[in-house]
Amino acid sequence: MPDHSLHLLTNIVWHSLVGPQAPVSTGGDGARRYASGFSPIVAFEDMTRPNFAALAPYCEPGEHLYCSGWSGPAPAGWAIHAEAVLVKMVWEAPAPAPAPDAGAAAVRLGSEHVPQMLDLVALTKPGPFGPRTIELGEYFGAFDGPRLVAMAGERMFAGPLREVSGVCTHPEFQGRGLARELMQLLLRRELQRGETPFLHVMRDNRSAHAMYQRMGFRDHQEQVVRVLSRVA
């Protein structure tokens, strides 16, 4: 991947929301967020001087929002509820070779699967996810009867960069490699399109971080991520 595209990762949410995903974003001067129903993620053009005043009209009081790359004090009228560190990882390997039966159990997820997706997200908590997040890219899942037990999909993208996101597995089905197979399916499709896959993982999620490294991702950058809300 050309080095000039890596700078987008530092503020990938912003570049996504003012770029290819502008139709599903809203906001004011220097501040954007995914529209209602999508993942509740916000971004600022200048993370050192975030324009919260421009963002406020687009956020309901008490609505929990996710923001990465900003570490200043909470401005008046806003509260910080949680803070952690995430790792941005970039794919740096050949396309994963499909197993003989790879993808056999994969189902392309659509709007009819949203209730099952939300149930799995509520159980596994892979990160911010809304009922319309599925519109941001391709999502694939594995089922046990009518129950969705694993999924992986796509969320942000800007330039050649495409995020692998929403990776989760029902606790009763972990250890079978279901999410990994779904991720590999997505990776092959993205690489065939000439895209560079990337993902986010929490720094303290060491097992997932190690798995992504074994798959072929490398660490690119660490950033603070916060959950915040506008105070009524």
Query: How does pLDDT run across 138-190, given as a tens digit for each residue?
Result: 999 999 999 999 999 999 999 999 999 999 999 999 999 999 999 999 999 99
State whether 164 and 206 are in the same domain. yes
State whether 104 and 182 are in the same domain. yes
State whether 8 and 77 are in the same domain. yes
State whether 101 and 215 are in the same domain. yes
In Å, how far are 82, 130, 139, 160, 184 from 121, measured between CA atoms?
19, 9, 13, 27, 20
Q: What is the mean pLDDT of the chain?
A: 95
State whether 200 and 181 are in the same domain. yes
Q: Where residue 1 falls among pLDDT bands split at 50, 70, 90?
A: very low
pTM: 0.94
State whether 49 and 95 are in the same domain. no
Structural domain boundaries, residue 196: 88-223
| pLDDT score for 6 | 86
Domains identified in the chain, total number: 2
Specify the amino acid at residue 202.
M
State whether 101 and 206 are in the same domain. yes
State whether 134 and 209 are in the same domain. yes
State whether 75 and 146 are in the same domain. no
Contact yes or no for 158/129 (Cβ under 8 A)? no
Average the pLDDT over 65-91 and give the result: 96
